[in-house]
Structure 1
Amino acid sequence: MTNSLVYEPLQLKNQVINRWLTSGIFEKKMTFVPTTMEGDVNDWLLKGFSIHENPCRKEFVTERRSRVPERIATDSALPGVSLTLLEQAKPWNVYFPWGNPRVEWSGFWFVPTYLCTYGVTGVIAPSAHRAKLNIKTCGGLTLWVNGSLALDFAPFTRNMEQETEVWIDLQAGHNELMVCLEDLAERDTQYYFSMEYIGEQQIRVAVPLDEETSAQDVQAVEQALLGASFPQDVVTSGDVKLTLANPLHQQLAFAMVYGSEFDGNLKRRTSVLEQGAAELNFGHVDDYVMDFSAMRFETKIGSVQINKMAALQIYPGKFAEVQADTIQERKQQALHCIAQQGKPNIHTALARIQSGYDVAAATQLIRDGIAFINERKDCSDFYLVGLFKLWKEYRHTDLLDPALWEEIKSCVLNFRYWIDEPGDDVMWFFSENHSLLFHTCELLGAQLFPDEVFTNIGETGAVHRAKGEQRLAQWFERFFAEGLAEWNSSAYIPIDAVGLLHIYDLVESEFLRAQAKKAMDLLYYYITLNARNGYVASTFGRSYEKELKGHYTAGTTSMCWIGYGVGNINSYAISNVILCLTDYEPPAAYADYLQPEAGQALTFKYEQGKDGYAKLHGYKTADYSLTSIYNFRPGYRGYQEHVAEVFFTPEAQLWVNHPGERNCFGSGRPSFWAGNGCLPKVAQHKGLCVLIYQNDRNHNVDYTHAYFPTMAFDRSMQAGNWYFVEKEGAYAAVYAQNGLELQTFGPNLGRELVSPGYDNVWILRVSSQKESGSFGQFMDEVSRMGLQVSPSEVTVEDSKYGTLHMAWDGLLSVNGVEQSEDFAGVEGRIERSVL
């Protein structure tokens, strides 16, 4: 190669070849034979989502295994040169892994979509030899070495990594490797491969470049972006800035693409990095809409496009000042906020119409939403439900285009309402929130059109009404017995709420309306129990980074503010538009749970999920809260379970997890911060929590870590295996058996504590000035703890709580008394005590 980017392979267990020239993703929407499905809607949370395989995948895999992908010519495989496939032209570009051992394009596709990506790289070997490659993939991977087919590995097990080995012959000097990665995307899709070289030689990787592009300049920009970070994880005032750890000695133009690909709401800003400058400025926070945004930073060196992902919560501080005395006033304020700043969807359109905004623009949002639903994109049920409130409020007015009503009617009549109806879509039915929304939409559509034929299954509205009422009655029966299957989830409580509030407001059955009211009250019970100062900060059954870090913009935050005036207003639309448009009010008595009085503590234990599988423990005072899930599936592979949380303020918080992936801005479930690759054994007694990790050695993340944003605390200090923090007179201590290292480089600079090893023990301890005196006295108190720690057993001698003992195969005991696993059902027990 006359010009190329040459790298040493990433060193993990073996030499990882993660430097490639890639084509990007060629996509083709797929159609299949419509068919039905079956299964329990909550079993997947314990058994894994793969127990519900869409029939379309079987059809796809059968066809794909009958052929081998075409090997393409690589003569013109250079950055910026287009490759044409599936009637699409895409430019080759360098893949920058940013420390990710995988070569990855995981994401979200709303409809069944064929994905295909080609990659080319060079391997420079000191001498000719035979070597083994360890291949891991989500998808199917075909490999050619020096022009010859070496492997066609086609497992195609959705979102479940599969592994194989292949022996290859490498010649001395340069060798060409080509891959073709394929899969069928079905909503959230893990789409990647990893390639480990297992051999005796030290190889190098050479990515081809055109002659006009400087390899040195490309690598300098890559290094600068590798160390880039935000000064903090939320911006409420001032400018939105990205700091570069290694300033470049040239002027360089950058673009920032931000917003949500999920709802197509992407925006673009530009900035110039001046010669020698150390930061990029993308303008004042007041010029943004509030959101927790994925951000892609883009620049170009010669023919090479360099993209780097990041994430940031933006909440213009002026909205935190919005106050209203009554719930009616707060509903009006929230509706106006959504109308101004809400994401572009049917719910926001309704808020804009109700608030007197541009009707034509709102109508276009509705039509865009109808097109989304008509394609049967995943999450269509979240938005279809909003059409029924729109119909009730405006069908008999002249405000909207008359043709719109026929479009809505057609949308409702042609929808697929459940898994026993035929379809070739990948809408997700198998969760508590989706099943509620599908049943709600079915009943509301049937009420509107009782005599019309619903075309997907050929049944009348009257038949659908009977089904909808029966299904909702069964849903409520299960809900009141089990609570939230996705316990406390700040992401999905609002999704349940949008269904319940539409039932409460629009369903004709008095029984179902009463059930919906009762269920909404239960949601607010969980919100107020787990909220501190109006922010739901808790162990979660399903978590995403956008809720874990994005408390200002979470739907539950605005729900709490609307209900009780605590928290803050925001633009979350899905649940909160209908909340603002109904007469529903949460129980006033629950306000007592929001914030204990000074000098008091609130302890709460309760159960959620099938057979009470989630045993939840919370402890909060006027200064802090600590919550956890007790003894939940320790040692098993995790999903999106957030197992423990220390919370002071929306920015000052900390938690421990085992990363599900090494890519800190990936979309895995579990991801880097949300969920656990492997679940720990967890137990809590009041302000002390113990986590024991015995992680699977086959998992590619060999450490655990804590989210620890030092910039959000008043101060932080290290002492041995402990880190201590203070926030406004509240204290926390974090311990890891294997030691702690605070990150000093990269996107998690100053906000990540890393502890190496598959087996580890973490301890969280919270207190306050009232309980422990000064910060120094708290540090002394914790440092004097008696600790006997091993991967299978932990004993803690605490000056306040006494002796806590937990073994991997046993239950928590406190002062020799084994703690009961009876957490008293979905409403549980609440105890108040004096500190």
Structure 2
Amino acid sequence: MQYLSYALQQEHIINRFLVSETYVQPVKGEAVIIQKEANVWEGSVGAASHVNPVRETFVKQRREAIEPYPTFTEKVVGGSVLYGGKELELSARFPFNDPVLSLSGFYPNPTWISATAITFLDAMKPMDLGCELSVCGGARIWVNQQLIATFTPHVRNQMQQKHITLPLRQGENEVVVFWDEFAERDSDCSFSLSLDSKVEGLVQKLPIGERDAALVLAVEEALGNLSCKSNHVRTGEVELFCPNPYENQNLEIHLAGATEENFMVGDLYETTAVFLPSKSTCSLGPCEQLPIGYLQFKATVRVQGMSMAYHLAFENFPLSLVPQAKPTMDERKQQAFEVLARYGERNANRAVA
């Protein structure tokens, strides 16, 4: 068995886990009549003060539920967790300094979402490890298969904190986290673990089977340094930089992204950045070929059958596509409408143009 081994982030954050696929189950409730105001913006004077009664019922049930220790087929990349009649695959999470594990997303209908995470901590000696558990939703934690914490605040889209203690023995320790939430519309479901103080020699380990751990770590390091050579591209080629670890093959990074509003309607621009062997730069082509605006991409690379993703962002505004200003205001307005109709984001402004 090979392992990816990491020190704690900033010497006190546990954020290296194998994470299962997200379990999703629709939530239905009985019809009720709400007497108070509804459909009023949160924070306004007349904002509704009630809580979704279906959510209240769900939270009550989850707080009363006794969650058993998760059933794993294999505790390794490519293994799985059995939950709710489904087999949910485990994948290595590459956080790129993000201390929070999140299932955030948009759910148009009430939905129960959950996932399971597992990591292994190597300790130089037995210790009771004090740490802060932050949760948006609810969480249960097992150490060496013993339930040591249950925290179910379920405050919508707000992280809540609880101090817990992880009882570690000398050598390898298994830490499992199950977390869940009632998702409705834009919803966060997340957790983080931060130690009270720095602990010398504590190591996070992820089992990856017989994969080449050194190569995986090298590609992870490279992807974390991916960048556009200019934060604001106006002319010429869109050039990317990445310290390619491959000497005998291409490094291929798939990019999928858009401006914020185009992303919301699923209008994504996709391409592949190809770094030739030992080369640290590549071109995505002329800037005129990419969408206009502030572009945010999910950059994904596969190594040894494992997928890791990073975020890349830059502004693209090709000056060659900007028409020379006409002499009158009416003509300039017409030019603006034409540019907006052709290159604008897919929103009401473009529809009007």
Interval containing the TM-score (normalised by the shorter chain):
0.7 to 0.9
Q: Name 1:577's counterpart in structure 2.
A: 351
1:319 match: 321
Report the alpha carbon displacement of residue 206 of structure 1 after superposing the two structures with TM: 0.5
CA contact (8 A) 2:252 2:273 kept: yes
Q: In structure 2, what is the Cα distance between the partners aligned to 1:234 and 1:119?
A: 38
Residue aligning to 1:115: 113
SS at match of 2:288: helix
Residue equivalent to 1:819: none
Aligned pairs for 1:110-189 within 5 A: 110-189=108-187
Query: Is 2:292 aligned against 1:290?
Result: yes
CA contact (8 A) 2:38 2:48 kept: no
Following superposition of structure 1 onto structure 2, how do residues 246-285 of structure 1 map, counting pairs within 5 Å? 246-250=243-247, 251-259=250-258, 260-285=262-287
Cα distance change of structure 1 residues 327 and 57 upon mapping to structure 2, 3 Å threshold = farther
In structure 1, the partner of 2:15 is 18
RMSD between aligned residues:
3.1
Q: Kindly report which structure 2 residues correspond to 1:600-611, keeping only aligned pairs within 5 A, or say none.
A: none
Distance in 2 between residues matched to 1:325 and 1:69, nearest whole Å: 71
- Does the Cα contact within 8 Å between 2:71 and 2:82 map onto a contact in 1? no
Q: Which has the higher contact order (CA 8 A, sep 6+)?
A: 2
Aligned residue type for 1:267: Y
Letter aligned with residue 152 of structure 2: A
Query: Where in structure 1 are there 5+ consecutive unaligned residues?
Result: 342-569, 581-835
- The sequence identity of aligned pairs, in percent, is 24
Q: Residue in 2 aligned with 1:204?
A: 203
Match of 1:103 in 2: 101
Contact 1:141 1:179 in 2 (8 A): yes
Q: Could you tell me how far apart the structure 2 residues matched to 1:110 and 1:232 are?
A: 37
| Contact 1:44/1:50 (<8 A) preserved | no
In the TM superposition, 1:383-394 aligns within 5 A as: none
Contact 1:127 1:171 in 2 (8 A): yes
Partner amino acid for 2:208? Answer: L
SS at match of 2:228: coil
Task: Name which one, 1 or 2, has greater alpha-carbon Rg.
Answer: 1
**Contact 2:18 2:90 (8 Å CA) reproduced:** yes
Letter in 2 for 1:65: R
* Residues 791-830 of structure 1 mapped to structure 2, 5 A cutoff: none
Distance between the aligned counterparts of 2:48 and 2:239, measured in 1?
A: 41
Which structure shows the higher strand fraction?
Answer: 2
Give the C-alpha shift of residue 219 in structure 1: 1.2
Q: Which amino acid aligns with 2:171?
A: G
Letter in 1 for 2:3: S
With over 3 angstroms needed to count, the CA separation of the structure-2 counterparts of 1:216 and 1:85, relative to structure 1, is same
Counterpart code for 1:131: L
Q: 1:327 to 1:18 in 2, by over 3 A?
A: same
CA shift for structure 1 position 209: 0.8
Secondary structure of 1:99's partner?
A: coil
Which of 90, 93, 107 is the aligned partner of 1:92? 90
Deviation, 1:143, is 0.8
1:9 alignment counterpart: 8
Partner Cα distance (1:122, 1:52) in 2: 42
Q: Is the 8 A contact 2:81 2:116 kept in 1?
A: no
Secondary structure of the structure 2 residue equivalent to 1:185: strand
What secondary structure is seen at the aligned counterpart in 2 of 1:10? coil
Q: Which of 27, 30, 49 is the aligned partner of 1:30?
A: 27
Higher helix share: 1
Q: Secondary structure at the match of 2:71?
A: coil
8 Å Cα contact 2:76/2:206 also seen in 1: no
Tell me if the contact between 1:122 and 1:205 (Cα under 8 Å) persists in the aligned partners.
yes
Conservation of the 8 A alpha-carbon contact between 1:288 and 1:316: no
TM-score, structure 2 length as denominator?
0.85
In the TM superposition, residue 223 of structure 1 has moved relative to its aligned partner by: 1.4
Deviation at 1:84, TM superposition (A): 5.6
Q: Figure out how many residues of one structure are paired with residues of the other and give that number.
A: 345
